[in-house]
Amino acid sequence: MKPALITIAKWVWFGLLMLVALGYMASGLSKPSEPADPTVVAAQQTKLGATAIDDAQSTDSLSQVILAVNQARREQLLHSGLASAEPADWLTICRRMSLALVGSGISLEEIRQLETLPESEREATHLDRLLNDPRYHDYWAERWARYIVGADEGPFIVYRRRRFRHWLSDQLASDQRYDNIVSDLITAEGLWTDRPEVNFLTVTFDSNDGNPDPIRLAARTSRAFLGLRIDCLQCHSDFLGNVSLGDPNDPREGLQSDFHQLAAFYSAAKTSGLQGVQTGQADYQYQYLDTDQEVAVTPAVPYSPELLPETGDDRSRLAAWVTHRDNQQFSRAAVSRFWALLFGQSATESVDNLPLDEPLPAMLDPIVNDFQTHRNIRRVIQIITQTDAFRAASTATFEITAQHESQHAVFPLTRLRAEQVAGSIAQASRIKSIDRQSSLLVQLIRFGSINDFLKRYGDLGENEFSNDGVTIPQRLLLLNGKMLREAGGSNPVLNTASHINMFAADDRQAVDTVFLCVLNRYPHAHERDYFAQRLANCDQRSETIEDFFWTLANSTEFAWNH
């Protein structure tokens, strides 16, 4: 073949590749003109599969729990004399799900896929996809790690936070029951490298001469798994009436011995050289306040001792008691935690302070009762996200007060966490969903930009549900920061703004698409008219779209869950 023909052939192939690439980038910009074939939709839903639950429970049983929660909410609002907001639109509800479960907003690709379905099926379909998405497993694993082992990196060598987080992700991916996960943590044995759950214990090595620290483990167990703040009893008994223990139906004041008897269970965890952590005999000693010497402390539980098995090693007995089906405090703490993760704030004053003698909000009782039977995480998420409280709008025709939010008459406004802000910026800058199927380049760019953003923006750490306002340095970072500047910049291969400029059919579609990518909603009529007019009259369309993207990403609406 002649050199000239070879050159022409190369350019033909290059042109074909460019057409394919441009077609890929343009896909998703247009709203589907008509619903997909119902048979195709049904086949897709079958392939995705229904969310796995603890056992073969029917949809009716879930519906009964949801109805009970909604009824409790109606009675609560009626008693308080509060009106309820109308239900939010499906895009808003799906954005809430995405922020809570994967830590970012919805991609344009996801929105277009959902728009091919009947509107009544979109929320359930989106939830099913999220619960089977590795992004959910990884994101909730990180959120869990914060309340189970803390946000610090822990002692060098003997603590592997990343491996612990991956283990949690695997548990969520395989739909392990919550009680089994907690039991595995309490009874963990082996090396922290090949048995990642052991890191629940080794994170405390730095405070106990290379052995698990019973005191820190008792405090973490009571707060994370039981929703009880009894760590104040470490130094003295409760003289102020803040801690009630003993019989849940007839509680007494908490005693210093309550805390240390709980800690005594963890003294059975011993470090055994290359074998890592092993289970031995409890040998806990402590010098109580106003005493002259240490005394041997026998392992005992601070309430409901009848649920503690009489046989077995000490940590297995503790795990059995903590996760016992009749230990309602375990279920109360779990449901309260999941509720807070989905709403962005606790349903009570504090998610880890649920006194035995104080009831939860009535809305949570049906979920707690259901969780005592099933212990299934996905089932709880399914229930909560279908309740009227989760689906209520954040706006209303009446004046909204703090009481409306606390009573769940409206969906509460909560500031996005740092990683949610970063994740939403990263996702808004791409037409396609950023997940494990994305190119390595896209994943690396996302990882690097988010890490850099978090260092500058600040992280709440274990203070999961603080609802403080945005600080001036955080606002300045959004206004002038590198991540947002690059996310909305001119990049015809990767960035949303460039794709919209190249492929949007007209200015109105360009406005719609920017709103969908950044705020996950369609613009109101006056918003569409205003921005479309700005685009029509601009000299540099590309730069104007970039400025438009930047403006929406700096809006208050973008930075809050609503």
The structural domains of the chain, with segments of one domain joined by +, span 1-30, 34-121+362-412, 134-322, 413-562
Give me the pLDDT at residue 36, please: 47
Residue 300 has pLDDT above 70, yes or no: yes
Percentage above 90 pLDDT, the chain: 57
Contact 161, 123 (CB under 8 A): no
Give me the pLDDT at residue 462, please: 65
18 exposure class (CB count in 10 Å sphere: 0-12, 13-18, 19+): exposed
Give me the pLDDT at residue 44, please: 45
Residue 55 has pLDDT above 60, yes or no: no
Q: Which of 21-30, 164-173, 465-474, 544-553 has the highest mean pLDDT?
A: 164-173
Q: Which residue has the higher pLDDT, 224 or 252?
A: 224
493 band by pLDDT with thresholds 50, 70 and 90: low
* Predicted confidence (pLDDT) per residue in 386-445, tens digit: 999 999 999 999 999 999 999 999 999 999 888 898 889 888 888 888 887 777 777 777
Give me the pLDDT at residue 428, please: 87
Among 373, 392, 332, 344, which Cα is nearest to 74's?
A: 392
Residue 37 has pLDDT above 80, yes or no: no
Give me the pLDDT at residue 227, please: 94
Residue 334 has pLDDT above 50, yes or no: yes
Residue 40 has pLDDT above 60, yes or no: no
Percentage above 70 pLDDT, the chain: 87
The pair of structure tokens assigned to 378 is 């996905």
Query: What is the average per-residue pLDDT within 133-160?
Result: 91
169 exposure class (CB count in 10 Å sphere: 0-12, 13-18, 19+): buried
The class of domain 413-562 in CATH terms is mainly alpha
CA–CA gap between residue 325 and residue 371 (Å, rounded): 9
**Which residues does residue 303 pair with via DSSP β-bridges, in sequence order?**
246
* Predicted confidence (pLDDT) per residue in 192-209, tens digit: 999 999 999 999 998 878
Query: What is the average per-residue pLDDT within 316-330?
Result: 96
Q: Tokens 């995705």 — which residue?
A: 48
From residue 111, how far is each of 136, 235, 323, 532 by CA, in Å?
18, 54, 40, 22
Total-model pTM = 0.88
Residue 490 has pLDDT above 80, yes or no: no
151 band by pLDDT with thresholds 50, 70 and 90: confident
CA–CA gap between residue 29 and residue 22 (Å, rounded): 12
Strands (E), 227-274: 244-247, 250-253, 269-271
Give me the pLDDT at residue 458, please: 72
Q: Which residue has the higher pLDDT, 46 or 350?
A: 350
11 band by pLDDT with thresholds 50, 70 and 90: low
